[in-house]
Amino acid sequence: MMRLPTFSYCAPDTAEEIAHILAEEGPAAQIVAGGTDLYPNMKRRQVEPKTVVSLARARALRGIEWRDDGSLRLGTSEPLRALERDPRLQSTLPALHQSVLSISTPVLRNMGTIGGNLCLDTRCQYLNQNFEWRRTINHCLKCSGDTCWTAPGSPKCWAVNSSDSVPVMIAMGAKLLLQGAAGRREVTAAEFFDVTDGREWIRRQPDEVMTDIVIPSQEGTRSVYLKLRRRDAYDFPVLGVAARITMDGDLVSDARIVLNAVGPAPVRCTEAEQALIGYRLNAETIGEAGNLSRRGAKPLDNTDYMPNYRKKMVPVFVRRALAALA
Amino acid sequence: MTKRKIQMMLSVNGEDHDVSFLPHRTLLEVLREDMQLTGTKHGCELGECGTCTVLVDGEPALSCLVLGLECAGKDIQTVEGLGTAGGPHPLQKRFAELNAAQCGYCTPGILMAAQSILTKDPTPDRETLREELAGNLCRCTGYLRIYEAIEMAAEDMQHGS
Amino acid sequence: MAPKYRIIGKANTKVDGLAKSTGATKFADDLSLPRMLYCKLHRAHVPYAVIKNIDTSAAEAMDGVVAVLVGSELPTQFGILPVSQDEHALCPDKVRFVGDPVAAVAALDEDTAFAAAQAIRVEYEPLPPVFDPAEAIQNEVPQLHDYGDDGNVHKRVAMEFGDVAGALEDADEVLEDVVFYQGNTHLPMEQHATLAMPEADGRLTIWSSTQTPHYLHKAVSKVLGLPPSRIRIIACPNGGGFGGKSDPFNHEIVVAALAVKTQRPCKITLTREEVFYCHRGRHPVLMRSRMGLDKKKKAITGIHFESLLDGGAYGSYGVASTYYTGALQTVTYKVPNYRFDGVRTFTNKPPCGPKRGHGTVQPRFALEIQVDRAAHALGMDPADFRLQNLQPPESVTANWLRIRTMGLKACIDKVVEASGWRERYGKLERGHGLGLACSSYITGAGLPIYWNRMPHSGVQLKLDRGGGVTAFCGATDIGQGSDTVLASCVAEILGVDLLDVRVCVADTDLTPVDLGSYSSRVTLMMGNAAIQAAERARDLLAKACAEKLEVPPARLAFADNRVFDTQDPDKSMEFAQAVVFAEAKFGTIGTVGSYSPPKMPGRYRGAGVGPTPTYSYSASVIELHCDEETGIIDIDKIWIAHDIGQAINYHLAMGQVEGSVYMGVGEALMEEMVYRDRRNGAHKIPSLLEYKSPTTMEMPPVDTFLIEEPDPEGPFGAKEVGQGPLLPIMPAVANGVFDALGVRVNRCPITPEFVLAALESKDKRSGPKSYPDLRIEAPARILTPAEGGDGYEIDQKRKTKQLAREQRTDEQKTTR
Ligand SMILES: Cc1cc2nc3c(=O)[nH]c(=O)nc-3n(C[C@H](O)[C@H](O)[C@H](O)COP(=O)(O)OP(=O)(O)OC[C@H]3O[C@@H](n4cnc5c(N)ncnc54)[C@H](O)[C@@H]3O)c2cc1C
Ligand code: FES
Ligand code: FES
């Protein structure tokens, strides 16, 4: 039986307390929300925190609140299933709904939280293995080794950001609220995930806990999320495409195309977006955007499916996403 | 970090149990090893198969990814609480009749997931069952008899038989 | 007209149904005993190396560690086949794949055992590994074992039935296909577990999740040096097996040894990763098939079939697997001339062995794709081509396999009709297709694993004065429902209720030997033994009742827990009363039954693999969509018909077909055992998340048809159903992709990458491009029945003599 390493456990009542404990313990502490990412990683000994700080009792981290301006505030420890079942979310934020619905399985979505999904540790076939397995490859850059086996010549870790909701949050311009020991701060999702190395997949300070996600009103936009994976349940994305289009009459006035699961960080396809803005959304422009979207994606051989296949699928999925919005 | 056990009351199948266990033990370990409730099975202990599914406050949860101590004050339901051979739950009866439990190893987890589906939707259609059971791997049945058994049990429960 | 049964073929609840649905069934890991220790193995993290030193001191010094075991303490080798005794409980001198166990610890709890196993330090001298079988046949080094046919070749076989070269030469067209079938694994949901307990009298009891308690019995006895009489093996109900629990395993022997060493109960439960290392699953097989076609007769003139098996690090069932890749190409369609060349190599990967459809799945995939091509080459509907070339019932094939009943025509007719094949095949819009494939499988291997003349299955009955019947048999229920089959056969004959029969199974102390739950043998062999035992008991009872009721015994019938006169049903008594009379007359009532398969006509070397009392047949049509841009296949619907002879229990039979189809869907679309050759040969994806097993979302609706035409060899006419229905699924998907997009994927699984590759290629085909030279010298030549052969290799007797003579002269030369 795969078992957890030993640790001490606490479940403070407030975000401030959580931040204080994190500040005291430093990187040896880990936040746990639903535990569906952290506990498997601990069982595989990818992480062995001395202290596990649970969000379970912090009531302020809950809630799905629609505000008058049409924006939505999500408490980070809200389970994915709650989002999935919210009727208004389903109708007004279809891309978010689709992405949440595509995560893992119904039972895991009962347990996993939206905050945990945003902070999901990066994944790699050389990393998400038992301790004994990792001895065979002499460990890896992200976890007690010195080589990234995905790209042995590279100084960076190429573990993959495999969260389904991350690209959607970026496309929708979500803001994230963090509580640190010294106070609160707000970042955009785009900034929070603007990283280059799989070892630091989010721009979070060790003492910070993410408390809220604020999604501005999406009125006047259309959005969609498409996901490539082997099975229609369980599997992480090996390519995720979030697209949001704003139209002005017949013409595209704003476009956002964000890829995920093709590298350590989500990829914004700015060239493809530019090829749409000011034009009609038709087969030609969609085809062009699809082709341009290929550039940023660097899938490597550390997930399911062959990397060149995933690369080949980028324009196909981008085209299909845009076609769904046309 | 200690190897000292904690002691707490755990409500399992409607009964309060005074149990002590190490703080890093998962609910799966507590149930099977500290309480000898071996009806709950395991196939990966990493959240990848659904075999260990139990109900926590009525919602399905993977007992391999929940700490025992996180369950203080919660109501845990396992297959042992669903029914007995003498008085089986309609689900158990239909699973037995239709050979929906072949080797029977995935069965306890699937029964608990099914139980929770039926509480929310007493007459689920095929598509609902398919989607809701997507996290419960079974290598024997191809799921087909499982759907049938749940549908028949749903009918039994509707008609109070 | 099938006879009327009270129990056989009915939709009864299986005898262990409620135990399973209430969670009461005890699987091996559910057992625990006072003072029990937990065992963990330390496994190799290098693929091939000499062990220089094992330092266990840190582990031994740990609090809570009770014992440590290393390979030198268990030097005796074991293995499932007598010809491949090449495994050690723990590697004493060499490790041969990542995951090969080197040392073991027993500790008070599993956390400690885990930490201690990690603290063991092994010093290795690395050896150059080999991962590619094509490389392994070319080079003499590395050589993983010091036995086998030559170099790294474990087994090399070549035999020719009829004149194949002539048949291909005379053919109007010869189709050639090179096909690769990737390895995959059983993935039972239950991870293997074993508990061993030393008894106060010096005996040892072992509970294990094994499909073959009898072979485990032999292996434990051999390695521990304890007589079998001191060892008791109890096979717990298996949480799925599919062939993955039919070898004796290292961990089983290790916990037995640790229990003896510590004199405490000792348990091991493997992690999912370790289950991947046990493996013994489907061999990766590279195949080439050449098929000659006669355009006028629209028939096959001959087939030359070659297979190269990647065996992994140990022998396992590999010799049998090798023969199986060439055995059953002849039992579905008429193949007048047939040649088979097969080679199995060792590589530094987990050992392959028998998985559902053992060795016949890969060649069936190749054959059914080729038959589909043949139909198109002849301008025929693939269903018609098959129907016109069926091997007839009650016949003997070119390679001397005896066919009894043959229900393939009925199977094809059924699925063709149900799927609307005639109206729709070749006519659906692009991207939408139908595929047809057929198959056949053995109902139990004709020969046992080790040579002997004893029965393959035995059943013992004990009748109680209260009317209860206990049936003892060594068979193991792995989810297939053998307990219910046993009870059903006995209850049918004795006229009692299913629940009046208590089954006591899979316990080497209590039950007569049944060879195990493999090769689809249990229903037929145990069933026949059970019928014999029950008939003997019935005869005793009938004699006693006849006296009491004053009617001739032959007029008595047994039904509804009564014995009655068929001519005057009022003359009757309760079954329990009948037992009382019989016991009074004859003493304690106990009977036995046993079963041995009939003698097979093939006498050539290798003729032992392939024969069976009778073959089952299946046909399947699959409807699918295949996306031209992504290559992704969505299966819409599966129709399958299976010639089962006679279902013993309706729900069990249907469950076996559906389960086989499920497993076939996984193999067809996604399941692969893959390794990182450049990273020490580590298993790429040893987890339930990354090794893809279909969820509910991938499983299509299935329409199942049982074709029931009782077979004279089977109990009540029953044939196998546990494995055969898996075989047509993969080729039906491949053929469906051809119908949808006009491309051939000569490779399984049929992944999107390969669909796209086929679309992009000039010849609209993807898969392996070339075939290595298997270095076969002249094959053994066996005359076919049509050629007037006798089942022996030509001049086999003379050749044997000549060989002996040559050896003698060689010896003389060397001594001179
Ligand atoms: C078998 C399986 C399949 C899965 N499939 C998918 C999938 O398809 N798509 C997908 O996106 N995910 C998938 N997941 C991952 C996971 O279940 C989800 O991402 C889930 O939403 C994580 O949430 P959690 O609350 O369980 O996270 P946790 O495990 O509790 O935490 C995850 C990480 O985030 C940190 N964290 C959590 N909350 C906060 C916070 N408020 N502030 C700061 N840091 C925080 C934790 O320290 C930890 O590092 C899968 C997991 C499993 C086991
Ligand atoms: S044991 Fe597999 S999900 Fe818990
Ligand atoms: S019944 Fe065997 S795994 Fe589901």
> Which residues in chain C touch residue B153, judged by CB atoms under 8 angstroms apart?
none
Report how far residue C534's alpha carbon sits from residue C527's, in angstroms, rounded to the nearest whole number.
10
> For chain B, which domains are there?
6-81 (3.10.20.30), 90-158 (1.10.150.120)
Would you state the pLDDT for residue A296?
A: 85
Residue C271 belongs to a domain: yes
Establish if C3 belongs to a structural domain.
Answer: no
DSSP state of C237: P
Q: Reply yes or no on whether the pLDDT at C813 is more than 60.
A: no
Q: Which atom of ligand 3 is nearest to the CA of B139?
A: 3
B100 lines ligand 3 (CB under 6 A): no
Residue C417 lies in a domain: yes
Dihedral of alpha carbons C774, C776, C780, C785, sign: positive
- Identify the band that residue B1 occupies on the pLDDT scale cut at 50, 70 and 90: very low
User: What is residue A280's predicted lDDT score, i.e. its pLDDT?
Assistant: 97
User: Tell me, what's the pLDDT at C815?
Assistant: 46
Does C688 sit within 8 Å of B46, measured CB to CB? Answer: yes
Once rounded to an integer, what is the mean pLDDT over residues C746-766?
Answer: 98
Residues C733 and C799 in one domain: no
Q: Which of A25, A194, A210, A57 is nearest to A119 (CA)?
A: A210
H-assigned helices in A112-229? 114-118, 131-136, 165-171, 189-192
Gap from CA of C208 to ligand 2 centroid (Å) = 21
Q: Atom 19 in ligand 1: which residue has the minimum CA distance?
A: A117
**Structural tokens at position C80:** 């499932």
* CATH number of the domain to which C482 belongs: 3.30.365.10
Chain A interface test: which of C40, C120, C676 (most A C-beta within 10 Å): C676
Inter-chain CB proximity C659 and B129 less than 8 Å: no
Nearest to C489 by CA among C522, C448, C454, C452: C522
The answer on pLDDT for C540 being more than 60 is: yes
What global pTM score does this model have?
0.97
Identify which of A6, A137, A313 has the shortest CB distance to residue C682.
Answer: A137
* Closest ligand (CA of A39): 1
Question: C145 φ, ψ to 5°?
Answer: -135, 155
Contact B134 A6 (CB under 8 A): no
Kindly list the strands in the beta sheet with C572-574, ordered across the sheet, starting from the edge strand earlier in the chain. C556-559, C562-565, C572-574
Judge if C701 and C684 occupy the same domain.
yes
Please tell me which residue of chain A has the smallest CA distance to B112.
A107
Judged against a pLDDT cut of 90, whether residue A114 lies above it is answered with yes
Q: Is A201 in the pocket of ligand 1 (CB under 6 A)?
A: no
The answer, for B1 touching chain A at a CB cutoff of 8 Å, is yes
Q: Indicate which CATH number applies to the domain containing C118.
A: 3.90.1170.50
The DSSP secondary structure of A202-268, one letter per residue, reads: S---TT-EEEEEEE---TTEEEEEEEE-SSSSSPPPSEEEEEEEEEETTEEEEEEEEEESSSSS-EE
Task: Answer yes or no: do C433 and C567 share one domain.
Answer: no
Average model confidence (pLDDT) across chain C: 96
Give C95's contacts in chain A (Cβ within 8 Å).
none
| Chain A residues touching residue C121 (CB < 8 angstroms) | none
Round the CA-based radius of gyration of chain C to a whole number and report it: 27
DSSP calls for C331-397: SSB--SSEEEEEEEE--SSPPP---SSTTTHHHHHHHHHHHHHHHHHTT--HHHHHHHTBPPSSEE-
| C256 and C323 inside one domain | no
Same domain, C467 and C358: no
Half-sphere exposure of C304 (CA within 13 A, CB side): 15
Are residues C405 and C506 located together in one domain of the fold?
Answer: no
pLDDT digits (tens, 9 = 90+) for C688-711: 999 999 999 999 999 999 999 999
DSSP bridge partners of C593: C459
> Does the C-beta of B45 come closer than 6 Å to ligand 2?
yes
* Rounded distance between C-alpha atoms, residue A26 and residue A24, angstroms: 6
A114 CA to centre of ligand 1 in angstroms:
8
Q: Å from C409 to nearest chain A CA?
A: 35
| pLDDT value of residue C798 | 66
C756-759 LR contacts (CB < 8 Å, sep 24+): C756/A309, C756/A312, C756/C630, C756/C631, C759/C628, C759/C631
The pLDDT value recorded for residue C204 is: 98
pLDDT of res. C809? 65
**Final residue in a domain of this structure, among C258, C278, C298:** C278
Instruction: Enter the tokens of residue A36.
Output: 């569906």
Q: In whole numbers, what is the pLDDT of chain B averaged over residues? A: 96
Domain co-membership, C754 together with C800 = no
C-alpha span between C46 and A133 (Å, rounded): 10
Q: What are the chain B neighbours of A3 within 8 Å (beta carbons)?
A: 24-26, 29, 45
Q: What is the mean pLDDT of chain A?
A: 97
**B103 → closest Cβ in C238, C651, C687:** C238
Polymer length of chain C: 816
Find chains touching chain B: ≥3 CB pairs under 8 Å.
A, C
Q: In degrees rounded to 5, what are phi and psi of residue C43?
A: -110, 150
Mean pLDDT calculated for residue range C306-325: 98
> Which pLDDT value is given to residue C139?
79
With beta carbons under 8 A apart, name residues in chain C contacting B108: 23
- The answer to whether residue C4 sits within a structural domain is no
Q: Is the CB of A40 under 6 A from ligand 1?
A: yes
Question: What number does the ligand 1 atom closest to the CA of A47 have?
Answer: 49
Tokens standing for residue C83: 């010809």
* Start-end of H helices in chain B: 27-29, 79-82, 90-98, 107-120, 126-132, 144-158
Phi-psi region of A191 (alpha: psi -120 to 50; beta: other; left: phi over 0): alpha
Q: Is residue C12 included in any domain, yes or no?
A: no
Q: With 0-12 CB in 10 A as exposed, 13-18 as middle and 19+ as buried, what is C809?
A: exposed
Give percent above pLDDT 90 in chain C: 95
Please write the tens of the pLDDT for every residue from C111-133: 999 999 999 999 999 999 999 99
Q: What pLDDT is attached to residue B4?
A: 87
Alpha-helix runs per DSSP H in chain A: 15-25, 38-43, 80-85, 87-92, 94-101, 106-111, 114-118, 131-136, 165-171, 189-192, 270-274, 283-293, 307-325
Q: Are C232 and C507 in contact (CB under 8 A)?
A: yes
Is C561 in contact with C495 (CB distance < 8 Å)? yes
Residue C91, SS3 per DSSP = coil
Report helix, strand and coil shares of chain B as percent, to nearest 5.
Answer: 40, 15, 45
pLDDT reported for residue C812: 58
The Cα B78–Cα B60 span in angstroms is: 10
Chains that touch A (3 or more CB pairs under 8 A): B, C
Together in a domain, C714 and C670 = yes
Q: Is A309 in the pocket of ligand 1 (CB under 6 A)?
A: no
Neighbours of C813 (CB within 10 A): 8
Together in a domain, C717 and C806? no
Ligand 1 centre to CA of B66 (Å) is: 13
Contact of B40 with B63, CB cutoff 8 Å = yes
- DSSP-assigned letter for residue C3: P
Write the pLDDT tens digit of every residue in A31-83: 999 999 999 999 999 999 999 999 999 999 999 999 999 999 999 999 999 99
- The residue type found at A124 is C
Which residue type, as a one-letter code, is found at position C717?
G
Identify all chain B residues contacting C661, using CB atoms and an 8 Å cutoff: 142
Which among C561, C577, C595 is the end of a domain? C595
Contact A125 C690 (CB under 8 A): yes
Helix (H, G, I), strand (E, B) or coil at C434: strand
Radius of gyration of chain B (CA): 16
Q: Say if CB A215 and CB A169 are below 8 A apart.
A: yes
Beta strands C556-559 and C299-310 are unpaired
Angstrom distance (rounded) from CA A114 to CA A170 = 14
Do the Cβ atoms of B145 and C188 come within 8 Å? no
Q: Do C696 and B106 touch (CB under 8 A)?
A: no
Instruction: Among C25, C186, C189, name the best residue to mutate to test ligand 3's pocket (greatest count of ligand atoms within 8 A of Cβ).
Output: C189
Percent of chain C residues past pLDDT 70, beyond the cut = 97
Residues of A with CB under 8 A from a CB of B: 1-9, 11, 35-36, 39-40, 43-44, 50, 54, 56, 104-108, 110-111, 232-234
- The pLDDT > 90 percentage for chain A reads 99
Does the beta carbon of B137 sit less than 6 angstroms from any atom of ligand 3?
A: no
Measured from the Cα of B100, ligand 3's closest atom is: 1
Whether ligand 2 lies within 6 angstroms of the CB of B64 is answered as yes
**Cα of A110 to ligand 2 centre, how many Å?**
14
CA angle C748/C750/C751 to nearest 5° reads: 125
Residue C816 has pLDDT above 90, yes or no: no
Is C139 within a domain? no
Amino acid (1-letter code) at residue C284: P
pLDDT per residue over C666-696, tens digit each?
999 999 999 999 999 999 999 999 999 999 9
Residue A104: closest CA among chain B residues belongs to which residue?
Answer: B135
- Asked if C292 and C174 count as a contact pair (C-beta separation under 8 A), the reply is yes
Nearest by CB: C662 against B42, B78, B142: B142
Q: How far apart are CA C714 and CA A251, in angstroms?
A: 73
Residue written as tokens 């299966």? C635
* pLDDT score for C814: 47
The answer to whether the CB atoms of C694 and A231 lie below 8 A apart is yes
Cα separation, B66 vs B150, in Å, equals 27
For the record, the structure tokens of A276 come out as 């749409």
What was the pLDDT predicted at B32? Answer: 98
pLDDT in tens, C21-48: 999 999 999 999 999 999 999 999 999 9
Q: Check whether residue C406 and residue C443 sit in a common domain.
A: yes
Residue B113 with chain C: CB contacts under 8 Å: none
So what's the ipTM on this one? 0.98
Q: Which helix (H) or strand (E) holds C420?
A: none
Domain that holds residue C235: 31-127+189-240+245-278
The answer to whether position C274 is within a domain reads: yes
How many separate domains does chain C show?
4
The predicted model gives C322-351 an average pLDDT of 98
Contacts of B24 in chain A (CB under 8 A): 3-7
Pocket of ligand 2, candidates B52, B67, B78: which has the most ligand atoms within 8 Å of its Cβ, to mutate?
B52
C141 domain residue, yes or no: no
| C556 plus C610 within the same structural domain | no
- Residue in B28, B44, B47 closest to A108 by CB: B47
Mark yes or no for CB contact A6/B1 under 8 Å: yes
- Decide which of C595, C614, C636 is a domain's last residue: C595
Q: C199 and C268: one domain?
A: yes
At C800 the pLDDT is 67
- Bridge partners, A256 (sequence order): A244
pLDDT at C3: 62
Distance from CA of C476 to the nearest CA of B (A): 11
The two three-digit tokens of residue C84, written as one number: 């491949």
Q: What are φ and ψ of residue A308, in 5° steps? A: -70, -30
Separation CA C768–CA C746 (nearest Å): 7
